[in-house]
A and B are shown apart, each in its own frame.
Chain A
Amino acid sequence: MRPPQPQGPPRPESSEDASAQALAEALRSSFLIVRVIMILLVAVFLFSGFFTVGPQEKALILRLGRPVAEDESALLGPGPHWAFPYPIDEPVHIPLGEVQTVTSTVGWWKTTPAQEAAGTEPPPGPTLKPDQDGYLLTGDGGIVHARATLRYRIAEPGLRYKFDFSAASNAVQHALDNALVWAAASSTVQITRDSTPFREKAAARLDQLIRQQKLGIVVDQLAVEVKPPRQLAADFDRVLQAEVQRNAALADAQQYANTTTNQALAQAHALLSLAQAERKNLVELLSAEAKRFSELLPEYRKNPGLFMALRRAEALQRLATNLAECIVVQEAGPGQQRQIWLQLSREPQKIKLPEPPKTEHVH
């Protein structure tokens, strides 16, 4: 903008001209600025329609408040996308792949993870206070503590989870609490020993609730922890000890049983072996004798008396060589003295006879 030139006295026309010109020029340049700003604004407006969908999620575009489609075809996968800027389009991110976690502590005593880790939980009182101590009632009229951690994902397309619940994770939390209450109500205190049936019941009830209330989630994992009341820890331990003792006693008895049976089997085996041996001996002996008999029979038949006398004498002779000592006693006949002949051992008997053997006749 040029400043008006001080050339003599200013004429009215020329001064009007100059000011109009100046105004026009000012307007023109400001219009230029406005135009640039407008183009920039439009560019920013359009550019603001870009959005990115993360790897663990999907997105859905609401056009004028309504989803562009009600099924999975409307879901946009991970990557950059463009939609009309608000208020025409509104991208809604749904964390479909992301694992969400809810924890139920309605059945657990009041504690914090820090206290638990440090072991500084306040000691249990003699009773359970309804406003502080969570617990579950079991079917057999007992009390147990139980808590659960549920890991779940949103089921595709996730519209129900996102648009039908003001806070779906709260609804899931309530369902988990309810599942624990139900599962405990039909269980016994025994679930403190083995929580598997309890977990299964809770999982079944949770599935039922997910279907009934159409929570639109998929259960990834349900972990439960069940404990007896802290007030009764010692009593529950005693039962465990009793079981350990019983198992030890049973193991002892089993060992005794094995030993006894094995001994009996060994003894039986020995008996049988002995019997077999005896049987074999008897059979062999008799068959040997029979063979000998058959051989001797012709001889015998020639002259039985002589044969037998010879045999006997021969046998006696043979036997005599083996005899340690032989005592011959003669029956005292009438008016006779009794006589005894002794043949003493040819080998010295160490204790009795240190001297060489002698034969003597005793009368």
Chain B
Amino acid sequence: MKRNPLTIAVGVVLVLIFALLLFCFQVRKGEVALVTTFGQPTRQVGPGAHLKWPWPIQKVYKFDQRIQTTESKFEQVQTADGFNLLVSVYVGWAITDPELFFGRFGDSLARAEESVVDLLRNTYSGVLGRHPFSDFVSTDETQLKLAQVEQEWLETVQAQIRTNNYGVDVKFIGLKRLGLPESVTEEVFKAMRKERQLQATAIESEGERQASDIRSAADALAASILANAEAEATRIRAQGESEAARSLAVFQQEPTLAQFILDLSAVEALLKERTTLVLDTQTEPLHLLRGAGDHTNAPATNAPALGPRP
């Protein structure tokens, strides 16, 4: 049979592919690979294409190097000042040393996760027990030490993981939940209820006080407006009087006449409307009537101006 060059090429390609599969492996970004030679870890490599001896000489284990997040159960701990607190945390961890990791957990992430959570649980009372309740909740932000608690926790867990040679590193720890034992929540409700009642009463009485303040301020303002107005009115009158006093200079030339004129004006003003005038005969010119009783005809003749009219 004639040898076809194409057939040869195909053959070569196939052999090449087979060899590549046997001697090469690829590590994806986010992974790290551990190469074992006869079961012993000999080399670790990052992302890219790498060479290896085929099985059974060398074997490649790949590990996910991305950060895994795990959360712990909601567990009760006692704070430094004796309060019971329920806490759960989340932790972000990643494989940093595949060799150690492989020695401890093989290639099982799940087993590692379990161990991390166990280790975390053992540090609860050690870390949280050092802090009083006010470090966890406080309206005073200088007292609140959540950041410190999380940092201490992280350091403790990191140290323990290093001594235990897990081959992983904890990247971050954060509080996920804070709570109180069930029976305590009822007590908190009682306290909150009482607080609301106090608040409602305080608001009501404060409202009343403010309202009465507003009212009395308004009354005071009104009184002062009136007082000011009265003072101003008096001032205006006084001003009027002082302006009027300028006329006095004129009157000064002949006080008797002035008096007379003003009297006359006053009387005229007084008698402008329908008036009943009671005079005695001393009054000029009625003195003319005086002695009318002595002369029987006097009224008719002597007082034509003021006497009875027809």
Contact = CB atoms under 8 A, between A and B. Distances in A.
B277 interface: yes
Interface string A300-315: 1100100011011101
Interface stretch (B100-108, B115-123, B279-287): B279-287
Given A66-B48, A257-B218, A268-B226, A249 B137 contact: no
Contacts of B29: 62, 65-67, 159, 163
A272 interface: yes
A189 B284 CA distance: 96
B51 interface: no
Interface string A32-45: 00010010000000
A268 B204 contact: no
Contacts, number: 381
A178 B154 CA distance: 15
A106 interface: yes
B184 to A, nearest CB: 9
A277 B136 CA distance: 76
Contact of B196 (A137, A163, A175, A235): A235
Q: How large is the interface on A (under 10, 10 to 19, 20 to 34, 35 or more residues)?
A: 35 or more
B159 interface: no
Nearest to A171: B69
Interface string B210-238: 11101101110111011011101110110
A246 B207 contact: yes
Nearest to A307: B257
Contact of A312 (B139, B243, B247, B284): B284
A322 interface: yes
Contacts of B276: 323-327
A62 B264 contact: no
Nearest to A336: B293
Given A267-B229, A271-B233, A294-B250, A359 B256 contact: no
A289 B48 contact: no
B203 A242 contact: yes
A337 B293 contact: yes
A4 B268 CA distance: 169
A139 B139 contact: yes
B45 to A, nearest CB: 10
B137 A275 contact: no
A139 B137 contact: yes
Contacts of A297: 253-254, 257
A123 interface: no
Interface stretch (A8-16, A111-119, A279-287): A279-287
27 contacts: A64-B48, A87-B26, A128-B185, A130-B86, A136-B178, A137-B178, A139-B139, A231-B189, A246-B207, A249-B210, A254-B214, A257-B217, A263-B222, A268-B228, A282-B244, A287-B247, A296-B261, A304-B257, A308-B257, A313-B284, A319-B267, A319-B268, A326-B276, A326-B277, A326-B279, A337-B293, A343-B306
